[in-house]
Chain A
Amino acid sequence: MLLQDLSSIEDPKLIEWDWISDNFWEDIVPAIQGHIFLSFVSVAIALAISLPTGVLVYRYRKAYTPVTFVTGLLYSIPSLALFGILISIPGITIGPTPVIIALVAYSLLILIRNTVAGLDAVPAETIDAARGMGLTDSQILLRVELPLALPVIVAGIRIATVTIIGIATIGAYIAGGGLGKMIFDGINRSFPTMIITGAVLATLLAIIADLALLALERYLRPWARRRA
């Protein structure tokens, strides 16, 4: 369908640079900002939920299966369907809110699973030594377990962020804003410049976020960096 639309476009020029320079400050920059806002807020909220949940699940193993089942279920709902379901709930109107809720729902599985995996990878003898020296449970968590798990947690944030930046484009369908809006507008107007600009920028955003978080992951592991 999309391909048909594109092929029916009369103007053979894929990119009109004039349009980009004319609308740069008015349309493009706000779309980028909107997209960063959607993604950043979603990751932040998801992290605020996932970190404590991950720690809890790590401590009470019985909760692991139900928690991954529920978050896995959320993860498997097609994004368009999830947006549709959310706006049909009374009290939720179209706009950024349902988009953020959906993006948070999508990141939970990855973030919780990586938090637990990171904590699981902390060597048992390191924890035993810490306890044997008189660290309390919360000191062990904050000074030993979480710092050692952090690189794995950040690796999870990387995957979640890249996923979210991609899915957020679809959020424009329910007026979430961001680069997705530019893509949808381009499709509606049969104007490939807008589609390509939106797509390229969304991809760039994902790549930049990925590299920045990779750098953070390395930075958080000075002991391993030095060894190599």
Chain B
Amino acid sequence: MIEFRQVSKTYPGSGSQVVKDLSFEVPEGEICVLVGPSGCGKTTSMRMVNRLIEITEGEILIDGEPNTAMSGTQLRRKIGYAIQQIGLFPHRTIADNIGTVPNLLGWDKGRIKSRVDELLDTVSLSPDEYRDRYPAELSGGQQQRVGVARALAADPPIMLMDEPFGAVDPITREGLQDEFLRIQQDIKKTIVFVTHDIDEAIKMGNKIAILKQGGVLAQYDTPETILAYPNSEFVASFVGTDRILKRLSLVRVGDMRLEPANGEAEDLPRIDGNLSVRDALSEIIGSGSTKGVVERDGEKGLLTIDAIEKLSRARDDLRD
């Protein structure tokens, strides 16, 4: 668990405060996304966790211990670090790059090698093909995979990720996001994830911390709650006027309570249970109807626009 306690950062000299009185908790095994406009102090906040930037006031606790309990370098070897520009070592092979932290921790060669191969598999790069290559020989997307693998190398319980999928095209980015969420289901790291993209925040975060100018926390909650109940004009405009639709994109049709289909199903549009409710709504409207038929576990159910509208106003966490 990571706990921010009234954390502030003021740069000496300029006297400008970039983070102000920030307090929130990132529970064990969850992804907390820091999001906000540029200059909101999200990257600064993240970098204070591993003390690449030192706190001016307040403290950050990691599993109850202040992060100042050990030296900065010791601390950083225990925390995974992945950044947008990736920063792979151009003069080292992929295997050497991934093995950086295990090497610093003094693992033996055999253990490092098998860990490197395991991680290359995890990020869907064939070890035989990639381990001896240099970073410049890889595409942007492949380099970002290696960046994530390198951050995971010593199996740190905590990871810091600063726009880790930011340097690739949107399609590749979606693929990397999906893949990372799949990996996260197994590894359950406690992650502080920085992005400026609200859609990425909604997709990746168990919790979202929206920061505004001057490093002030505007709202900290689940994506569902933030979308349904933004607590201020700032948050509402930051998440966008399509926030209701964004919220619907968080729910799968298959997870909704459906009405029984009583034989009237024949001329209605068919909807795949794996679609998001947002996409289902689009299909229903597109077919000129007000409902669609969902086939689930061999049974048919009806999804109506009314039900979708109710869902969009529901207070509960939709995903569980």
Contacts and interface: CB of A to CB of B under 8 A. Distances in A.
Q: Do A and B bind each other?
A: yes
A151 to B, nearest CB: 10
Given A125-B83, A135-B73, A130 B89 contact: yes
Contacts of A13: none
Contacts of B77: 133-134
B89 A133 contact: no
B87 interface: yes
A191 B200 CA distance: 82
Contacts of A144: 89
Contact of B76 (A123, A125, A131): A131
Nearest to B78: A134
Interface string A110-136: 000000000000010111111111111
A139 B90 CA distance: 16
A222 to B, nearest CB: 7
B192 interface: no
Contacts of B74: 134
Most central of B73, B78, B90 by chain A CB within 10 Å: B90
B97 to A, nearest CB: 9
Contact of A133 (B81, B86, B133, B137): B81
A48 interface: no
A134 B150 CA distance: 13
A133 B76 contact: yes
Contacts of B130: none
B85 interface: yes
Interface residues of B, number: 28
A64 B100 CA distance: 32
Given A131-B76, A134-B76, A134-B104, A223 B85 contact: no
B292 interface: no
Contacts of B315: none
Nearest to A136: B73
A134 B137 contact: no
B134 interface: yes
B148 to A, nearest CB: 12
A135 B104 contact: yes
Contacts of B75: 134
A134 B85 CA distance: 18
Interface in A126-182: 126-136, 139, 144, 147-148
25 contacts: A125-B87, A126-B87, A126-B88, A126-B90, A128-B52, A128-B83, A128-B87, A129-B147, A130-B100, A131-B52, A132-B52, A132-B76, A132-B87, A133-B100, A134-B75, A134-B77, A134-B104, A135-B104, A148-B90, A222-B134, A223-B90, A224-B136, A226-B133, A226-B136, A227-B136
Interface of B: 50, 52, 73-78, 81, 83, 85-91, 100-101, 104, 133-137, 147, 150, 160
Given A129-B83, A132-B81, 5 more contacts: A123-B85, A132-B83, A135-B104, A223-B135, A227-B137
Interface of A: 123, 125-136, 139, 144, 147-148, 221-224, 226-227
The 4 closest A-B pairs by CB, nearest first: A129-B87, A134-B77, A125-B85, A132-B81
